[in-house]
Structure 1
Amino acid sequence: MSKIGLIIGREFNQRVRKRTFILTTVLTPLLMVVLMVAPVLLNKVGGSRQLEILVLDRSGWIAPQLQSGALLKLTPTDLSEDELGAPGNRYNYLVIGEDVLSDPGDVRLYTKEALTFDVENDLKSQLGRIIEKRKLEAHDIRNLSQIMQEVKTDVSMQTFQRHDTGERRASSGVLSMTASYLFGFLIYMFVFMYGVMVMHGVIEEKNSRVLEIIVSSVRPFELMLGKILGIASVALVQFLIWVALILALGTAALHLLTPDALIRSAAVPGVVPQMDAGTLAAIRQVTDGGFLLKLFGGFLVYFVGGYLLYAAIFAAVGSAVDNAQDAQQLQMPATIPLVFAIVVMFTTMQNPNGTLSVWCSIIPFTSPIVMMARIPYGVPAWQLALSVALLYGSFLSMVWVAGKIYRVGIFMYGKKPGFAELYKWIKYKG
């Protein structure tokens, strides 16, 4: 264990002292916060430009009901269509057909530049509502406006998740889906990034002949395990720094972008800013200590387990080849389960208890990502226990397999082994 500890310390110190580690650790969370905040800042600073459109209404009853807003300035015009579209005129204009009530497609818009989705959707929505209102009025129903106002209903539904103990906790489908995607993708990114780092580290040391000296005093199994755990400690430190920086920068940005009145009202006991039931459920769930413990605890367990499993696989790949080009061919089978897990993750967000989702959350090669996509929705305890046991058991088995490949592969140069030859290396005794 003392030898493994020395290797872990060497791997950790070698990587955290690199300039690239310091730069990525500081700049990555800063870039993430900037990407989240930039659209809001740009919208506040630049705003959206109002598009002025002249309306030629041949029906005679639509133009007076069109409303200008932040996106559109709609102005009725007496100019003819020929005058509006004459060469040299740079008008934006809308032509509404005379019989638009029976032919809603008789509406044409001419602009000097391509429309944004928001502008087009705003204009189409206004025209649709006006025509629908006219059609309803044709039925000559008394007090139609009052009836429509009374009938209109906005359902505000609070959702709760029931547990076997009888406890009920606030639940938000949007928050669960967001957490599933975010934590699943984070595990994919970290496992792949640091697993490949292990592989390249082994290849570099193999090419420099360092391993030939090290293995004279350390068993290949100890060397590989130390390298995997050393880089795992780098990954955990970097991740914790990222979380702290993102929380600090994100909180500061939130205070800068959120109106002071809203912050003051939220801070006063007993005063809750007006919000719908879905938003309120999301806030209750995200402030639920049990939910956060389950979410972040699950992330830690599956991030570490997924990394250890795939780091052992990538380490075995690195010890079997002596250059990055040859490693890509052997690396492909290792990355296919990760990519497949991302695909299943999207299915899991829609059906977390489906057969495919359940099995992929138990199978070790896909469980780190898929199980994290299921955890926000609630997972039976026996499935979690089985999944974790298989994941860490597979890691130990893969360490043994990778150690077998290490023992032979670190002394092989200039030859790219196939899968059949790798199987022979695993079967070697001694």
Structure 2
Amino acid sequence: MGSWATVRLVAGRELGVRLRSKVFRITTVALLVLLVGAAVVIDLVGGGDSTESVGVTAAESAITAPLTAAARSLDVGITTREVPDEATGLRQVADGDLDALVTASPNGLRVAVKEDLNDEWRAVLAVVARQQVLDNEISVLGGDPARVNEAVAATRVDVTQLDPAPAHQGERLVLGIAAALLIYMGLMLYGPAVSQGVIEEKSSRVVELLLSTVRPWTLMAGKVLGIGLVALIQMIVLAGGGLVAALVTGALSLPSGEATGTVIWSVVWYVIGFFLYALPFAAVGAMVSRQEDVGGISSPIVLAIVVPWVLGISIVPGDPDNGLIAVLSLLPIFAPVLMPMRIALGVAPVWQLVLSVVLALALIGVLVRLAGRIYRNAVLRTGARVSFRDALREA
């Protein structure tokens, strides 16, 4: 059997065993439900109907237009309804048919509500009340309130944006953080799984039987590839399901093409990141014989995953164009977590994307060689932990 056929055979075994695992299925379903639920909650909280129904007496119907204009200017939903008299309006407010009843008073306005008046409506009514008093004063002085209001309405403020934020910036940020979080969780889950799988085979002496028929590097490559395919399937299910849920519910109003592009790049970086970290995890797994010993030797790899995540969520939301983050996102050990965030926010130029991918692939090539040598030299040695010097020594 050829080397690549062996790799495919080992990878297929890992894929089949792990896809049938209850842990994998339960974890995938739970995370997918969590993502869909988050999209629904965001839509309900952000897109709920906040329109207020306001009653105005027939004798004071002239106040309807100022109320509607003030509410529109402050982005507050309003529907007005005419009631025959104040007593009827108060009864409807008490019964819950109206949210508020607005009537005129000598010093402005009176408003009746069932329980409390929220801050948004307090601001709307304050604007209308001031306008009513101003109109009265203009009339007393012999002026024309309508003409004054037209002149005031014609005024404007011209704003020059020196560095305007892209559209949907908040949604871009949420999408970027969600992508980075999925990648971070995937790497933290499936990277150590490679070490655990190697140690299990080594401690049970299964690896000795396998290496009597296959070459060490093919066994290592097949295990990494198989677990990587499992991780990729889960990532596609979660990212795709979350994206569809966000677009369908309206929680995400970004153009679908742009959102899909961000998700595709996130999957690409997940694959690249997995091989960047899984190969070292496989190597350190071969250097120890017990699960208890892998924590200390693999801590630098875990730290290399945690640091970019912490930097990303600490700096990127407040400063997407941060120079330090831009430089770090080009480095292979930081790119899988940081670059998807920058892609989602639209601050990563094409040349940086290309450079970061090239550097990451180049490092993967180096890691394949180094991890293969460590695995070959260490996987059959039991007992005490194998030192890096001995593991890297030419056979």
TM-score, normalised by the number of residues in structure 2: 0.67
In structure 2, the CA distance between the partners of 1:360 and 1:209, relative to structure 1 (3 Å rule), is same
Instruction: Please tell me whether residue 344 in structure 1 is matched to residue 340 in structure 2.
Output: no
Q: What residue in structure 2 maps to residue 416 of structure 1?
A: 385
> In the alignment, which residue of structure 2 is the partner of 1:386?
355
Equivalent position to 2:375, from 389, 406, 410: 406
What is aligned with 1:230? 226
Q: Given the alignment, which residue of 346, 363, 369 partners 2:331? A: 363
TM-aligned CA deviation for residue 26 of structure 1: 3.0
Would you say the 8 A contact 2:236–2:267 is kept in 1? Answer: no
Distance 1:156 1:228, change over 3 A: farther
Indicate the percent of aligned positions where both proteins have the same amino acid. Answer: 28
Partner of 2:278: 311
How many Å separate the matches in 2 of 1:173 and 1:416? Answer: 50
**Pair 152,381 (structure 1): closer, same or farther in 2 beyond 3 Å:** same
Q: How many Å apart are 1:245 and its aligned residue? A: 4.4
Question: Structure 1 28/180 Cα, relative in aligned 2: closer, same or farther at 3 Å?
Answer: closer
Of 291, 301, 305, the match for 1:334: 301
Partner deviation per Cα, 1:105-152 (whole Å, 9 max, x = no partner)? xxxxxxxxxxxxxxxxx579959x97xx99xx9xx9968x96998599
Which residue of the other structure, out of 189, 200, 205, is the alignment partner of 2:201?
205
The one-letter code of the counterpart of 2:190 is Y
1:105 is aligned to none
2:31 is matched by which residue type in structure 1?
T
1:251 positional shift: 6.9
1:195 pairs with 2:198: no
Gaps of 5+ in 1: 45-49, 51-60, 75-121, 163-169, 259-278
Structure-2 change in CA distance of 1:31 and 1:378 (3 Å): closer
Structure 2: which amino acid aligns with 1:6?
L
**Does the CA contact (< 8 Å) of 2:180 and 2:338 recur in 1?**
yes
User: 1:349, 1:374 within 8 Å by CA — same for their partners in 2?
Assistant: no
8 Å CA contact retained: 2:266, 2:340: yes
- How far 1:412 sits from its partner (Å)? 3.0
Residues 1:19 and 2:15 are matched in the alignment: no
CA contact (8 A) 2:180 2:337 kept: yes
The C-alpha deviation readout for 1:162-196, integer Å capped at 9, x for no partner, is: 9xxxxxxx733223212221211221111221112
Contact 2:232 2:267 (8 Å CA) reproduced: no
> Is the alpha carbon distance of 1:307 and 1:386 closer, same or farther for their aligned partners in structure 2, counting shifts above 3 Å?
same
Preserved CA contact (<8 Å) 2:39 2:245: no
Distance (Å, rounded) in 2 between the aligned partners of 1:298 and 1:161: 25
CA distance in 2: counterparts of 1:321 and 1:146, whole angstroms: 81
CA distance in 1, matches of 2:360, 2:19: 28
Separation of aligned partners in 2, 1:348 and 1:416: 40
Work out whether residues 351 and 357 of structure 1, in 8 Å CA contact, stay in contact via their aligned partners in 2: no
Matches within 5 A, 1:157-172: 171-172=167-168
Aligned-residue offset at 1:322: 2.2
> What do residues 81-121 of structure 1 show as CA deviations (whole Å, max 9, x unaligned)?
xxxxxxxxxxxxxxxxxxxxxxxxxxxxxxxxxxxxxxxxx
Task: Say if 2:180 is the partner of 1:180.
Answer: no
Distance 1:205 1:403 in 2: 16
Task: Assess if the C-alpha contact under 8 Å between 2:239 and 2:263 holds in 1.
Answer: no
> What is the aligned length?
324
2 CA distance for matches of 1:355 and 1:227?
Answer: 38
Pair 1:351–1:37, CA change in 2 (3 A): closer
Report the counterpart of residue 142 of structure 2 in structure 1: none
1:372–1:292 distance in 2 versus 1, CA, 3 Å:
same
CA contact (8 A) 1:200 1:318 kept: yes
Question: Residues 48-87 of structure 1: matches in 2 within 5 Å?
Answer: 68=113, 72-73=115-116
Q: Matches of 1:402 and 1:236 in 2, distance apart?
A: 21
Secondary structure of 2:273's match?
helix
Cα distance change of structure 1 residues 150 and 189 upon mapping to structure 2, 3 Å threshold: same
What SS does the corresponding residue of 2:192 show, helix, strand or coil? helix
Report the AA paired with residue 425 of structure 1: A
Counterpart AA for 1:206: K
- CA-CA distance at 1:5 after TM superposition: 1.1
Q: Give the aligned partner of residue 76 of structure 2.
A: none
Q: Where does residue 4 of structure 1 map in the other structure?
A: 7
Change (3 A) 1:205 1:237: same
Question: Alignment partner of 1:73: what SS?
Answer: coil
Letter in 2 for 1:424: D
3-state DSSP of counterpart to 1:363: coil
Q: What SS does the aligned partner of 2:212 have?
A: coil
* Residues 39, 242 of structure 2: 8 Å contact kept: no
Flag the 1:146–1:397 CA change in 2: closer, same or farther, 3 A.
same
Distance 1:197 1:151 in 2: 67
